[in-house]
């Protein structure tokens, strides 16, 4: 493992090709100037949205500038994510965000002016001017938000505050990825290695319990040393969300966050309530883990090590690619043909390097192929991460191919369906071809871990957010110690009596970047549940279900997410998909318990 390489030491064939967005930094700088010069022309449109023709012209100009900003921001931030300590690209990202905020402020009159018109007039323009048809969903969504849109002057003030409002999130991002340093810890070979975000889970998967414990303690003692600073960062982000929701006349920050997707709070509560109803399954799983690991006490640092011994699987990058492609065969030849472009055309940034943003994501810009950031470590988990992020990438690829710019961007609510469906299909493929009991147990363990991490854990995160936002929203002061207490009690509730809930886990809230996007994480759990349902349909029905699914991928953001998913074959407005996912979890758990009887007896 050793020390991390610097960015320039990583082989070019393992890096993404951001030159497909901008061939040179100078080209980016020229476009930044173009964007700055667009601010006044956009502002000059104020007061002109008085006819269908003028509305069309204004929307087209706004789209052209929005696409330009999309390219500027994606390039700047992805360059920065290559090495967060690179001051040049920190500057690029700051400049792009600043211009974006200025443009947002200049264009803040759009929605208030449209809302000042009679709804029937706007719909009449759409019906009579063919070019406005592509804006139908966009305009209907604006009309839907009328009660939460402010007069133009106030919208401009809110837009101008956008950069300042991102302060807590930006500070956390820089602190977490560039400034926070972890100590060296021992790996399984007894070597001292630098603890990093990317290596943490790998160390927790070690069969050496001292390695797991050492990494766990080093991670959370480091965060604990900064708990008050981190508490101030997070509660500031919560207060920002509460402020904007109040200004926009929402009942709560939860209502505000969900309304962007036209999703009611009952979907959020359905998820938490349904998982509460099935926590006995989680407790059973934790109990089985304790038995299979053969420990007197199960600790939080024992949750990631495979329960089935002697099955540590190293999956080199090329093998991971082959496994993903084999698992996704049910999606058809065209999907596989398009998927292969990602491996040949510079879509993927594979390896961890010093200063690189942790974790994994898919991003990009309309008109250019999507990109995937990884911190690949040759594990089974990383193979599934590859499948997951390529699900996002292919969603973007098909959306861009089938939709105009205004309708191409899909919401996070549906994004997690495409990614987790890929994981589900790959897992099904591996289980189909595996009959050897220990190998099968290893895969069942991994699949159950996907449920634990994506459904149970993200729902616990979602409940944590809800509790914290409610407390601060009711005017209660919330300190870092109180955040830790709330988080600790939720861990006890979700993991049950068979595990020692170590005190250090109370600091885990401090390292979750998604908390800086309020009420975001629940979509992982709902998306996973929808993906389980759709993958079952694809495997059982074949082509009809595949066609529905590919149509869903190509629909982008052309309709509300619940409608898109319903047409694909799953109704997320009801608890049923969550309950169905729990049934699958129970079946997997039943099989693993049965197969493990010999292991436990031995």
What does DSSP assign to residue 10?
S
pLDDT of amino acid 152: 78
pLDDT tens digits for range 41-51: 999 999 999 99
- State the residue range of the domain holding 94: 7-165
pLDDT of amino acid 309: 67
pLDDT of amino acid 306: 82
Domain at 156, CATH number: 1.20.140.70
pLDDT of amino acid 311: 57
Say if 130 falls within a structural domain. Answer: yes
Mean pLDDT, the chain, integer: 94
pLDDT of amino acid 149: 84
Alpha helices in 83-208 (DSSP H): 87-106, 110-116, 119-128, 136-144, 152-160, 162-165, 167-174, 197-204
Say if 117 falls within a structural domain. Answer: yes
Listing from the earlier edge strand, what are the strands of the sheet with 371-373?
348-349, 371-373, 361-363
pLDDT of amino acid 416: 87
Say if 557 falls within a structural domain. Answer: no
pLDDT tens digits for range 365-404: 999 999 999 999 998 889 999 999 999 999 999 999 999 9
Active site residues: 389
Say if 307 falls within a structural domain. Answer: no
Say if 482 falls within a structural domain. Answer: no
pLDDT tens digits for range 497-511: 999 999 999 999 999
Provide the terminal-to-terminal Cα distance of the chain, rounded to the nearest Å: 34
pLDDT tens digits for range 163-207: 888 899 999 999 998 899 999 999 999 999 999 988 998 899 899
Which of 367, 375, 378 has the alpha carbon at shortest distance from 348?
A: 375
3-state percent helix, strand, coil for the chain, nearest multiple of 5 = 70, 5, 25
Say if 88 falls within a structural domain. Answer: yes
Domain count of the fold of the chain: 1
Say if 377 falls within a structural domain. Answer: no
Note whether 466 and 268 are within 8 A (CB).
yes
Q: Per-residue pLDDT for 1 more than 80?
A: no
Say if 59 falls within a structural domain. Answer: yes
pLDDT tens digits for range 346-365: 999 999 999 999 889 999 99
pLDDT tens digits for range 538-596: 999 999 999 999 999 999 999 999 999 999 999 998 999 999 899 999 999 999 999 98
- Residue 84: both structure tokens together: 């967060």
């Amino acid at each position: 493992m050793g020390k991390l390489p610097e960015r320039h030491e990583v082989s070019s064939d393992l890096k993404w090709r951001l030159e497909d967005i901008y061939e040179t930094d100078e080209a980016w700088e020229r476009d930044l100037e173009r964007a700055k010069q667009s601010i006044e022309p956009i502002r000059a449109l104020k007061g002109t949205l008085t006819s269908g023709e003028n509305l069309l012209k204004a929307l087209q100009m706004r789209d052209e500038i929005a696409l330009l900003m999309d390219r500027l921001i994606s390039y700047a931030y992805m360059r920065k994510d290559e090495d967060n300590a690179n001051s040049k690209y920190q500057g690029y990202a700051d400049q792009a965000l600043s211009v974006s905020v200025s443009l947002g402020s200049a264009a803040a009159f759009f929605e208030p002016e449209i809302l000042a018109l009679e709804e029937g007039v706007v719909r009449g323009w759409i019906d009579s001017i063919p070019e406005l048809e592509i804006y139908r969903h966009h305009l209907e969504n604006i009309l839907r938000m009328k009660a939460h849109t402010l007069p133009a002057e106030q919208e401009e003030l809110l837009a101008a505050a956008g950069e300042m409002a991102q302060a807590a999130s930006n500070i956390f991002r820089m602190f977490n990825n560039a400034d926070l340093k972890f100590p060296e810890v021992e790996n399984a070979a007894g070597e001292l290695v630098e603890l990093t975000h990317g290596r943490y889970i790998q160390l927790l998967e070690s069969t050496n319990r001292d390695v797991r414990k050492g990494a766990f303690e080093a991670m959370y003692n480091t965060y604990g040393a900064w708990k008050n600073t981190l508490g101030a960062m997070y509660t500031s982000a919560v207060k920002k969300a509460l402020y904007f929701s109040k200004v926009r006349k929402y009942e709560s920050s939860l209502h505000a966050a969900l309304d962007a997707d036209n999703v009611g709070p009952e979907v959020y509560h359905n998820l938490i309530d349904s998982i509460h109803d099935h926590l006995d399954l989680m407790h059973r799983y934790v109990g089985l883990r304790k038995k299979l690991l053969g420990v007197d006490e199960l600790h939080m640092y024992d949750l990631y090590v495979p329960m089935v011994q002697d099955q540590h699987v190293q999956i080199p990058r090329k093998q991971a690619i082959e496994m993903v492609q084999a698992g996704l065969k049910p999606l058809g030849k065209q999907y596989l043909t398009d998927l292969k472009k990602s491996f040949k055309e510079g879509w993927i940034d594979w390896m961890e390097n010093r200063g690189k943003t942790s974790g994994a994501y898919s991003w990009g810009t309309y008109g250019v192929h999507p990109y995937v950031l990884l911190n690949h470590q040759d594990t089974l988990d990383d193979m599934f991460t590859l499948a997951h992020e390529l699900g996002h990438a292919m969603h973007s690829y098909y959306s861009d191919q089938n939709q105009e710019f205004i309708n191409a961007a899909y919401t996070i609510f549906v994004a997690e369906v495409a990614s987790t469906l890929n994981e589900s299909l790959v897992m099904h493929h591996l289980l189909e071809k595996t009959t050897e009991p220990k190998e099968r147990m290893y895969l069942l363990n991994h699949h159950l871990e996907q449920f634990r991490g994506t459904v149970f854990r993200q729902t616990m995160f979602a409940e944590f957010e809800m509790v914290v936002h409610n407390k601060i929203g009711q005017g209660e002061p919330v300190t870092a110690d109180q955040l830790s207490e709330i988080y600790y009690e939720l861990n006890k509730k979700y993991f049950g009596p068979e595990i020692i809930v170590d005190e250090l886990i109370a600091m885990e809230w401090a390292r979750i970047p998604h908390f800086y996007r309020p009420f975001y994480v629940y979509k992982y759990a709902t998306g996973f549940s929808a993906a389980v349902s759709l993958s079952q349909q694809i495997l059982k029905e074949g082509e009809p279900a595949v066609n529905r699914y590919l149509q869903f991928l190509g629909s982008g953001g052309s309709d509300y997410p619940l409608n898109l998913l319903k047409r694909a074959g799953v109704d997320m407005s009801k608890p049923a998909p969550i309950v169905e996912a729990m049934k699958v979890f129970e079946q997997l758990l039943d099989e693993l318990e049965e197969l493990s009887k010999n292991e436990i007896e031995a």
